[in-house]
Structure 1
Amino acid sequence: MEYRRLGRSGVKIAPLCLGTDNFANPTPEDEAKVMVNRAIEAGINLIDSSNSYAQGESERIIGRALQENGRRHQVLIATKVHFPTGPGPNDGGNGRLHIIRACEDSLKRLQTDHIDLYQLHRPDFEVPIEETLAALTDLVRAGKVRYIGSSTAPAWKVMEAIMVSELRGTVRFISEQPPYNLLDRRIENELVPMCQTHGLGILPWSPLAMGILAGRYADAANFPEKSRAQLRGGIYAERVTARGIGVGNEFVKLAQKVGVSAVQLAVLWVKDQPGVTAPLIGPRTMAQLEHFLPVLEMLLDDEVRAACDELVPPGSAVANFHNSAPWMKMKLPE
């Protein structure tokens, strides 16, 4: 397996990362810990979480798992800050007070003395980026954070942070974590070329398009049991569209023709797209994790890439995976 450099940093990571949004919601702790161990054994060395996943329980499970297996030194812990963690006016966002407090709380839950990659879960349009970067720089200088990144931000906002860090001498983003899959390719228009030009790694989330690309959904109005759209509703349900389901069905046929599962092909497609460092896989069960792992050694050939481009042209979208980002004003036709 070839490890990939994360942006302009000295860090190398496996071409898949373990996402933990399902830990404790609904994956039980015992199974989650087994998944952590199996992922490390397979060579995955970045585990991604957030202080908002299951009200912090995802971080706690990761912390307990790494304490029990003694493998903290083998992995990079990535987590995030932004969403509210309490009722107070300073219990959310990207201001100094919240970032410093949230980092201390995450360190306790993770049972570690440092976070390897601390990411802004969303941009904050009310707090000056100078304040945010200054707080993150203080955490790096204190040894509590190694690197910083962002998630689900517009290209211009990431670029603003890069320029301010250059001008002010503050710590610099090494990565961006956007939504990206065959159904929503809009990051290819600006974000991907910006990251390639300025040396940021890309760690996409939702490569399976919530299972739409695996043929999980047959009807945009009736969701299968235990699907994310059925379990969580809201923005998750909004992502399931008739157009997306149509493409998903054609994608399943393409995967059958290629001789791999649609799940594996969906992740492989993201993994081997230009500019991508490593997509996040978010297995709910141990069986799902095992099914993902062969993708670590797979390569996407040009013929399959071209067939995918025919389903959804580069830079376009048939489902909205940016619907958790208020800055995305573009509405897709039904």
Structure 2
Amino acid sequence: MTEYRPFGRTGVKVSPLCLGAMMFGPRGNPDHDDSVRIIHRALDSGINFVDTADVYSAGESETIVGKALAGGRRDNVVLATKFHGSLGDDPNEQGNSRRWIVREVENSLRRLGTDWIDLYQVHRPEPGTDFDETLGALSDLVHQGKIRYIGTSTFEPSEIVEGQWIAERRGRERVVSEQPPYSVLARGIEREMLPVAQRYGLAVIPWSPLAGGWLSGRYRKGAAQPASSRAGNQAARFDIGSPENAAKLDAADALARLAEEAGLTLVELALAFVLEHPAITSAIIGPRTMEQLESQLGAGEIRLSRDVLDRIDKIVPPGTNLSDRDAGYIPPSLSDPALRRRPTY
């Protein structure tokens, strides 16, 4: 029996596992019928929370989710999607502006085959766009009944606080959730983001709890590097020769041995660890195949002992990211050298 968790302070209840749909479509599983079967299996198991985004396979993921929820399943699902990423050559077919939001929400509603989106999320920050512009447009959509709640993804703690301030001072709808990267190998959000979320009563729905596949059990010392679509698309993130990835391999191997001693798979250990933190609402799983889904479904019922949690802390200390690439977003203040240097005259 699934034990549903409060979604922040909204009164909504969601399953501890959220089905992420990033791998449905050409980016992962191009077979629509097979993807629909995977979604139905997840719903039948008790998962009532599905997350996608307009940029996943250029909207095809949303279309697949819409097919899966047709025929009466929509009402019992908390449906989340996201906007921000580029969907065309036009420079205005992206971002966090009112112009794009009011246009793109209609596209997402059409692809999803629904009249409303439960959680509409800002996929990434956009420092050049006034956050009040974004929240104003999203608040209007709430008042129009097209979306129910507003969320963010991969925002800095200061940006989360700014959103709360804008809502209070300017009469906007409040952001109710944050979707950050979080896994045993990427624990940086424990330092500040998770305490901030708890302070404001936000739901937290972490992505990549398996660290992009590093905690799937396939990465072991002395074994050949497994082939994967993610490794092909993000070579630097999976290059075993880099020091940061060598550290991840060491940690993944140690965690796999710990999982075996605890009578668990590494996948179960990794997901149970994320769900153990009191600030976490629901962990996003992103299966590409039915086999991958089945290997993850039971993790929501597992509780780790204090001893196991203490041993995990020794392998990867609290608040530590083994690789900066796993933070999901590098703010312009770090990525743009011009912002750190005085102009020359």
Q: Which residue in the other structure is 1:284 paired with?
A: 288
Native 8 Å contact 2:259 2:266 kept in 1: yes
Q: Which residue in the other structure is 2:40 paired with?
A: 37
Q: Which residue in the other structure is 2:341 paired with?
A: none
Native 8 Å contact 2:271 2:300 kept in 1: no
Shift of 1:320: 2.9
Q: Which residue in the other structure is 1:296 paired with?
A: 300
* CA displacement 1:86-131 (0-9 Å, x = unmatched): 1112111101001111101000000100000000000110010111
* CA displacement 1:301-329 (0-9 Å, x = unmatched): 21111111010111112123445412187
Native 8 Å contact 1:215 1:245 kept in 2: no
Native 8 Å contact 1:95 1:127 kept in 2: yes
Distance 1:173 1:236 in 2: 31
Amino acid at match of 1:18: L
Native 8 Å contact 1:219 1:242 kept in 2: no
Quick check: 1:60 aligned with 2:63? yes
Q: Which residue in the other structure is 1:185 paired with?
A: 187
Pair 1:330–1:89, CA change in 2 (3 A): closer
Of 168, 171, 184, the match for 1:169: 171
1:105 aligned counterpart, secondary structure: helix
Quick check: 1:258 aligned with 2:262? yes
Distance 2:237 2:24 in 1: 17
Q: Which residue in the other structure is 1:23 paired with?
A: 24
Pair 1:52–1:3, CA change in 2 (3 A): same
Native 8 Å contact 1:207 1:281 kept in 2: yes
Distance 2:327 2:236 in 1: 7
Distance 1:158 1:242 in 2: 33
Native 8 Å contact 1:213 1:247 kept in 2: no
The structure 1 segments of at least 4 consecutive aligned residues displaced by more than 6 Å after TM superposition are: 328-331
Shift of 1:217: 2.9
Q: Which residue in the other structure is 2:125 paired with?
A: 123
Distance 1:324 1:317 in 2: 11
Larger Rg, first or second structure (1 or 2)? 2
* CA displacement 1:31-85 (0-9 Å, x = unmatched): 1101111111111111000000000000000001111x42001101100000111
Native 8 Å contact 1:213 1:263 kept in 2: yes
Pair 1:138–1:36, CA change in 2 (3 A): same
Distance 1:178 1:328 in 2: 18
Distance 1:105 1:123 in 2: 21
* CA displacement 1:239-271 (0-9 Å, x = unmatched): 971100110000000000000100111011001
Native 8 Å contact 2:221 2:250 kept in 1: no
Amino acid at match of 1:15: P
Native 8 Å contact 1:94 1:127 kept in 2: yes
Native 8 Å contact 2:188 2:327 kept in 1: no
Native 8 Å contact 1:223 1:229 kept in 2: no
| Correspondence 1:71-82 to 2 at 5 A | 71-82=73-84
The worse-fitting range, judged by mean Cα deviation, of 26-35 and 250-259 is 26-35
Provide the alpha-carbon RMSD of the alignment. 1.9
Native 8 Å contact 2:211 2:326 kept in 1: no
Q: Which residue in the other structure is 1:12 paired with?
A: 13
Distance 1:223 1:103 in 2: 40
Shift of 1:156: 0.4
Pair 1:235–1:11, CA change in 2 (3 A): farther
Distance 2:300 2:145 in 1: 32
Quick check: 1:113 aligned with 2:115? yes
Native 8 Å contact 2:210 2:267 kept in 1: yes
1:241 aligned counterpart, secondary structure: helix
2:215 aligned counterpart, secondary structure: helix
TM-score (norm 2): 0.91
For structure 2, the residue ranges without an aligned partner over 5 or more in a row are 336-345
Pair 1:330–1:2, CA change in 2 (3 A): farther
Aligned residues: 328
Native 8 Å contact 2:117 2:146 kept in 1: yes
Distance 1:229 1:213 in 2: 14
Native 8 Å contact 2:84 2:124 kept in 1: yes
Distance 1:44 1:236 in 2: 30
Pair 1:235–1:120, CA change in 2 (3 A): farther
TM-score (norm 1): 0.94
Shift of 1:23: 0.2
The worse-fitting range, judged by mean Cα deviation, of 146-155 and 291-300 is 291-300
Native 8 Å contact 1:180 1:205 kept in 2: yes
Of 185, 208, 211, the match for 2:210: 208
Of 212, 216, 224, the match for 2:226: 224
Identity %: 43
Native 8 Å contact 1:235 1:323 kept in 2: no
Distance 1:180 1:248 in 2: 15
